[in-house]
């Protein structure tokens, strides 16, 4: 079969890499892809912000299965349009994708369905902010309602800071239209967890859990990013907790969406904070996580195509995934300045040497290829990922690969999975 992957990041490289391993797949296309994906798939130009551009692509490629990587095409209703025209497509409809595309919708939904989440207020103006503020303790989290590529969340220490960040968001200066409505949310403490399930609209099957590292700096310092690294181990969530999360979070979400007339199919990514009061939902994403997908798919031993088709065909079961007990870690290498402004076009050295290390796969995110050489082309450039039987070995492997790679302005976190390592 022919598979089309939409997107251009490290997540999409991991999806392409895994889909290619399926015996059922004869050809993988990726649109628009990146420098590294071009080595594993046929990359085609596409504008992921335009449903028409993607439909034209489908007419050209005639895929048997399409997998959408990023949230934007989902929010624009690509799955609705592709499905209407007969293209088998993995992912939620526009209505279902609201769980990610509107934080105020997600918070209201969580409240309506009694799913644990932090107390919050929805504010459309500075008057609303002033009215809500006395009901909260500091620190307080200020969130843009719409999609902001991980950059629409600020944790504020004082009420003055809340007012100033909220004003910037509401005025459109900070994240544009996405900030025209703001959610204030109690700040939660604990370990974060990315718990992904695949849903067919009714049943869910969990993937192995992962932990992302959202802040730019070591020790979780500095601003939030799209994610600077992630790891997955068999102990990150035990069987009992996994069942609890399916029963108290994932299944109620899928049942609630169905009851509200927006059947949820595809990946449901539950971003959780494991607090002293129990797990609480921070956010939903309606797609695979980036960079979580890189370490998660490194541990997948069964055929990804089977699991994606089970979602489309309404026959998801726990048996859809078979996982390796190994640990896996992904370290993101980014351009200097990211998540702020950064330069691109820097030559990347050492990729071949890094890729030769046992158990290592270098996934490309923001790269381009010219005359056989790779150049930086985005904020997050590479996701160096490794797998091994134990976490110590995998961390050693991944950082040994990282040490081989260089480009001007390179930045990466030195402490991915460090806390888990200390605990183990
Ligand atoms: P979100 O896009 O809502 O997941 O927020 C991005 C990141 O901000 C999360 O992964 C957390 O690191 C942080 N964050 C969001 N909400 C909260 C909260 N209520 N308390 C503490 N940290 C939060
Ligand atoms: N790593 C967080 C995300 O994919 O949204």
The predicted pLDDT at position 4 comes to 98
Closest approach atom of ligand 2 to CA 287:
4
State the Cα torsion 96-97-102-106 to the nearest 10°: 50
Residue 371 burial (10 A CB sphere; 0-12, 13-18, 19+): exposed
pTM of the full structure:
0.96
**Cα distance between the two ends of the chain:** 42
**Ligand 1: centre distance to CA 147 (Å):** 14
Would you say the CB of residue 289 lies under 6 angstroms from ligand 2? yes
Closest approach atom of ligand 1 to CA 212:
10
Would you say the CB of residue 212 lies under 6 angstroms from ligand 2? yes
The predicted pLDDT at position 214 comes to 92
**Ligand 1: centre distance to CA 153 (Å):** 7
Segments in the chain below pLDDT 50: none
What ranges do the domains of the chain cover? 2-94, 119-186, 191-320, 327-423
Rg (CA), the chain: 20
**Ligand 2: centre distance to CA 292 (Å):** 7
The predicted pLDDT at position 342 comes to 97
**Ligand 2: centre distance to CA 338 (Å):** 16
For residue 344, cis peptide bond before it (omega within 30 degrees of 0): no
Closest approach atom of ligand 2 to CA 227:
1
Residue 328, helix vs strand vs coil? strand
The predicted pLDDT at position 148 comes to 86
The full DSSP string for 60-115 is: HH--SEEEE-SHHHHHTTHHHHHHHTT--EES--TTTTHHHH-HHHHHHHHHHTT-
CA distances from 175 to 144, 168, 191, 254, 325 (A): 8, 9, 27, 30, 40
Please identify, in words, the CATH class of the domain defined by 119-186. alpha beta
Ligand nearest to the CA of 285: 2
Residue nearest to atom 3 of ligand 2 (CA): 289
Residue nearest to atom 4 of ligand 2 (CA): 289
List all residues 6 or more positions away from 21 whose beta carbon is below 8 Å from its beta carbon: 303, 304
**Ligand 1: centre distance to CA 122 (Å):** 16
Residue 166 burial (10 A CB sphere; 0-12, 13-18, 19+): buried
**What are the structure tokens assigned to 171, written together?**
């005025």
Please identify, in words, the CATH class of the domain defined by 327-423. alpha beta
Would you say the CB of residue 91 lies under 6 angstroms from ligand 2? no
CB 59 within 8 A of CB 31: no
**Ligand 1: centre distance to CA 189 (Å):** 10
Nearest to 296 by CA among 2, 26, 17, 99: 17
Residue nearest to atom 5 of ligand 2 (CA): 289
Closest approach atom of ligand 1 to CA 215:
12
**Ligand 2: centre distance to CA 350 (Å):** 27
CB atoms inside a 10 Å sphere around CB 223: 16
Would you say the CB of residue 285 lies under 6 angstroms from ligand 2? yes
Give the whole-angstrom CA distance, residue 165 versus residue 385.
35
The predicted pLDDT at position 234 comes to 93
Residue nearest to atom 5 of ligand 1 (CA): 153
**What are the structure tokens assigned to 56, written together?**
């034209």
The predicted pLDDT at position 265 comes to 98
Q: How does DSSP classify residue 23?
A: T
Closest approach atom of ligand 1 to CA 187:
20
The domain made up of 191-320 is a member of CATH 3.40.640.10: no
Of 138, 139, 153, 165, the one to substitute when testing ligand 1's pocket (max ligand atoms within 8 A of C-beta) is 153
In which region does residue 397 sit, left (phi positive, over 0), alpha (psi from -120 to 50) or beta (all else)?
alpha
**Ligand 1: centre distance to CA 269 (Å):** 14
Closest approach atom of ligand 2 to CA 230:
1
**Ligand 2: centre distance to CA 228 (Å):** 10
Nearest to 70 by CA among 96, 84, 52, 49: 49
The predicted pLDDT at position 149 comes to 73
Closest approach atom of ligand 1 to CA 118:
19
The full DSSP string for 203-237 is: -EEEPPPBEE--EEETTTEEEE-S-SEEEE-TTSS
Give the whole-angstrom CA distance, residue 175 versus residue 269.
23
Ligand nearest to the CA of 196: 2
Give the phi and the psi of residue 168 in degrees, each rounded to 5: -65, -40
- CATH code assigned to 2-94: 3.40.50.20
Residue nearest to atom 14 of ligand 1 (CA): 282
């Amino acid at each position: 079969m022919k598979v089309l992957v939409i997107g251009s990041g490290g997540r999409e490289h991991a999806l392409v890499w895994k889909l290619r391993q399926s015996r059922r797949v004869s050809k993988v296309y990726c649109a628009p892809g990146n420098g590294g994906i071009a080595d594993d798939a046929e990359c085609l130009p596409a504008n992921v912000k335009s449903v028409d551009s993607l439909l034209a692509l489908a007419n050209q490629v005639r895929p048997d299965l399409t997998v959408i990587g990023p949230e934007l095409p989902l929010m624009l209703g690509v799955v609705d349009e592709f499905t209407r025209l007969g293209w088998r497509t993995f992912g939620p409809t526009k209505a279902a994708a609201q769980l990610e595309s509107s934080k105020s919708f997600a918070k209201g939904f969580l409240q309506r369905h009694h799913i644990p989440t932090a107390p919050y207020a929805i504010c459309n103006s500075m008057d609303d902010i002033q009215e809500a503020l006395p009901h909260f303790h500091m620190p307080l989290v200020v969130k843009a309602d719409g999609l902001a590529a991980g950059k629409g969340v600020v944790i504020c220490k004082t009420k003055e800071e809340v007012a100033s960040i909220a004003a910037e968001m509401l005025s459109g200066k900070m994240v544009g239209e996405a900030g025209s409505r703001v959610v204030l949310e109690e700040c939660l403490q604990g370990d974060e967890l990315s718990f992904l399930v695949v849903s067919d609209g009714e049943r869910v099957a969990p993937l192995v859990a992962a932990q992302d590292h959202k802040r730019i700096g070591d020790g979780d310092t500095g601003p939030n990013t799209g994610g600077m690294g992630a790891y997955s181990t068999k102990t990150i969530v035990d069987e009992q907790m996994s069942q609890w999360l399916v029963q108290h979070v994932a299944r109620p979400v899928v049942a609630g969406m169905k009851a509200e007339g927006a059947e949820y199919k595809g990946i449901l990514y539950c971003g959780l904070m494991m607090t002293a009061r129990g797990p609480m939902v921070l956010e939903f994403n309606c797609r695979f996580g980036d960079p979580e997908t890189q370490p998660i798919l490194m541990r997948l031993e069964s055929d990804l195509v089977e699991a994606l088709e089970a979602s489309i065909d309404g026959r998801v079961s726990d048996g859809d995934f078979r996982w390796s007990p190994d640990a896996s870690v992904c370290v993101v290498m980014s351009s200097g300045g990211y998540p702020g402004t950064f330069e691109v076009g820097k030559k990347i050295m050492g990729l071949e040497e890094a890729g030769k290390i046992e158990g290592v796969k270098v996934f490309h995110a923001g790269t381009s290829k010219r005359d056989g050489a790779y150049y930086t082309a985005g904020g997050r450039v590479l996701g160096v990922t490794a797998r091994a039987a134990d976490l110590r070995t995998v961390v050693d492997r991944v950082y040994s690969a990282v040490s081989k790679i260089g480009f001007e302005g390179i930045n990466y976190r030195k402490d991915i999975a460090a806390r888990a390592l200390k605990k183990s």
